[in-house]
Amino acid sequence: MKFKEKTKITGRVRIENVTTGEIREVNNSLVNIGFDTLSALTLSDVGGTAFDFLALGTGSSTIIATNTLLDTETLRIASTGTQQTTNVANDTARFIGSFTGDTTETINEIGIFNITTANTGSMLARAVFADLNVITNDKINVTYNIVFA
């Protein structure tokens, strides 16, 4: 393994409405509170709550570093987290989740959180994407990768 003097954290998310076949794939942005929480998690004297929850919303405002929540969160679920290899062994945190639509709406945003309760907790990252129409009982699969490289 080659030593890196600089490390980047990047992410990419894939959202699929399994019912309709529509897919959105976009890069994401890590936000300030996400960096804050990641750094705290590396310290046993500080710690924090790890990220494990995915949330969808209907907001579409431009992502800014100071975002702490989605614009308009509508669904939040626990994800299944795994480590994957992108550049070196286990350098990628993968969050996988499956949502079931509970109403008719247009989804435009997704985020990763550390608390199960909607509209609370620390947000690690957020992505905004083109309209994804969802109706009641549509199944939405998400794969969200955060790469530390």
- The answer to whether residue 117 sits within a structural domain is yes
Whole-model pTM: value is 0.93
Cα 67 to Cα 86: distance, rounded to the nearest angstrom: 27
Are 138 and 17 in contact, with CB atoms under 8 Å apart?
yes
Query: What pLDDT, on a 0 to 100 scale, did the predictor assign at position 107?
Result: 97
- The answer to whether residue 5 sits within a structural domain is no
CA 16, 17, 19, 20 dihedral sign is: negative
Average pLDDT over residues 85-107: 95
Query: Whole domain around residue 140: which residue ranges?
Result: 12-148
Cα 18 to Cα 109: distance, rounded to the nearest angstrom: 17
- The answer to whether residue 40 sits within a structural domain is yes
- The answer to whether residue 3 sits within a structural domain is no
- The answer to whether residue 36 sits within a structural domain is yes
pLDDT digits (tens, 9 = 90+) for 36-89: 999 999 898 998 899 999 999 999 999 999 999 999 999 999 999 999 999 999
